[in-house]
Structure 1
Amino acid sequence: MIDYFEKNGAHQCPKDVNPAEWMLEVIGAAPGSHADQDYHEVWKASKECKATQAELEWMEKELVKKSQDNFERGEFASSLLFQYFFVTKRLFQQYWRTPSYLWSKAILTLFSQIFIGFTFFKADRSLQGLQNQMLSVFMFTVVFNPTVQQYLPTYISQRDLYEARERPSKTFSWIAFILSQITVEIPWNFTIGTLGFSCYYYPVSFYRNASFANQLHERGALIWLFCTAFYVFTGSMAQLCVASQEVAQSAGHIASLLFVLSLSFCGVMVTPNNMPGFWKFMYRVSPLTYFIDGVLSTGIANSKVECSDYEFVTFTPRSGQNCGEYMALYIDAAGTGYIKDSGATVKCSFCPASSTNAFLKMVSSNYSHRWRNYGIFLCYICFNIFASVFLYWLARVPKRKAGS
Structure 2
Amino acid sequence: MHDQDEKEIQALVTDLLDSLKLTPCKDTVVGNGVIKGISGGERKRTSVGMELISKPQMIFLDEPLSGLDSYAAVTTMKVLKELARSGVAVMVTVHQHSSEIFSMFDNTLVICSGMMVYQGPTTDLKDFFQDNASIKCPPDYNPADFVLSELQAAPLEDIQRLAHVYKKQAEVKIVPAIEKSRVQGNDAPSLKPKARPAAFTTQLRELFLRDARDTFRNKPVLIARYSVLIILNLLFGCVFFDAGSSQSEEYWLSNLGEFIPYYGGMVTVCIFAMMGSAQATILRFPEQRGIFLREYASNMYSTIPYMISKMMVEFPLSFVDSVVQIIITYCMMNFQGNIFYWFLTSWVLNISSVSLAQLVGAAVNSGAQAIQMMPLLFVPQMVFSGLFTSLSNIPVWLRWIQWLCALKYGVNLAYFNEFGFDYTQLSEINDAKSSLVGLDIGILLGLIIVLRTATNVVLKRKARYVF
After TM superposition, the score normalised by the length of structure 2 is 0.53
1:378 and 1:189, CA in 2 relative to 1: closer, same or farther beyond 3 A?
A: same
1:388 and 1:368, CA in 2 relative to 1: closer, same or farther beyond 3 A?
A: same
Residue 370 of structure 1: aligned partner: 437
CA distance in 2 between partners of 1:291 and 1:361 (Å): 16
CA distance in 2 between partners of 1:246 and 1:221 (Å): 39
Residue 134 of structure 1: aligned partner: 263
Out of 204, 210, 225, the position equivalent to 1:84 is: 204
Correspondence 1:384 to 2:388: no
Residue 397 of structure 1: aligned partner: 464
Q: Secondary structure of 2:292's partner?
A: helix
Deviation at 1:247, TM superposition (A): 0.5
CA distance in 2 between partners of 1:283 and 1:21 (Å): 53
1:68 and 1:83, CA in 2 relative to 1: closer, same or farther beyond 3 A?
A: farther
Correspondence 1:102 to 2:106: no
CA offset digits 1:36-70 (Å, max 9, x no partner): xxxxxxxxxxxxxxxxxxxxxxxxxxxxxxx999x
CA distance in 1 between partners of 2:441 and 2:219 (Å): 31
Could you tell me whether the CA contact under 8 Å between 2:349 and 2:407 is conserved in 1?
no
Q: Secondary structure of 1:235's partner?
A: helix
CA distance in 2 between partners of 1:98 and 1:172 (Å): 24
Paired residues in the alignment total: 276
Could you tell me whether the CA contact under 8 Å between 2:384 and 2:402 is conserved in 1?
yes
Amino acid at match of 1:178: M
1:76 and 1:180, CA in 2 relative to 1: closer, same or farther beyond 3 A?
A: farther
Could you tell me whether the CA contact under 8 Å between 2:241 and 2:333 is conserved in 1?
yes
| Identity, % of aligned positions | 17
Give the RMSD, CA atoms, in angstroms: 3.2
Deviation at 1:92, TM superposition (A): 1.2
CA distance in 2 between partners of 1:72 and 1:200 (Å): 62
Correspondence 1:177 to 2:297: no
Residue 320 of structure 2: aligned partner: 191
1:267 and 1:21, CA in 2 relative to 1: closer, same or farther beyond 3 A?
A: closer
Deviation at 1:130, TM superposition (A): 2.6
Provide structure 1 residue ranges, at least 5 long, that are not aligned to the other structure: 1-17, 23-66, 208-215, 303-354
CA offset digits 1:330-375 (Å, max 9, x no partner): xxxxxxxxxxxxxxxxxxxxxxxxx744322322223333332122
Amino acid at match of 1:280: R
Amino acid at match of 1:387: A
User: Where in structure 2 are the equivalents of 1:171-320 lying within 5 Å?
Assistant: 171-207=300-336, 219-301=338-420
CA distance in 2 between partners of 1:84 and 1:265 (Å): 38
Could you tell me whether the CA contact under 8 Å between 2:198 and 2:300 is conserved in 1?
no
Residue 235 of structure 2: aligned partner: 115
Residue 42 of structure 2: aligned partner: none
Could you tell me whether the CA contact under 8 Å between 1:148 and 1:252 is conserved in 2?
no
CA offset digits 1:194-223 (Å, max 9, x no partner): 21121222222222xxxxxxxx5xx32222
CA offset digits 1:265-313 (Å, max 9, x no partner): 11110012333333322333322111111111111125xxxxxxxxxxx
Out of 288, 292, 307, the position equivalent to 1:158 is: 288
1:76 and 1:137, CA in 2 relative to 1: closer, same or farther beyond 3 A?
A: farther
CA distance in 2 between partners of 1:78 and 1:272 (Å): 50
After TM superposition, the score normalised by the length of structure 1 is 0.60
Deviation at 1:236, TM superposition (A): 1.3
Provide structure 2 residue ranges, at least 5 long, that are not aligned to the other structure: 1-21, 27-186
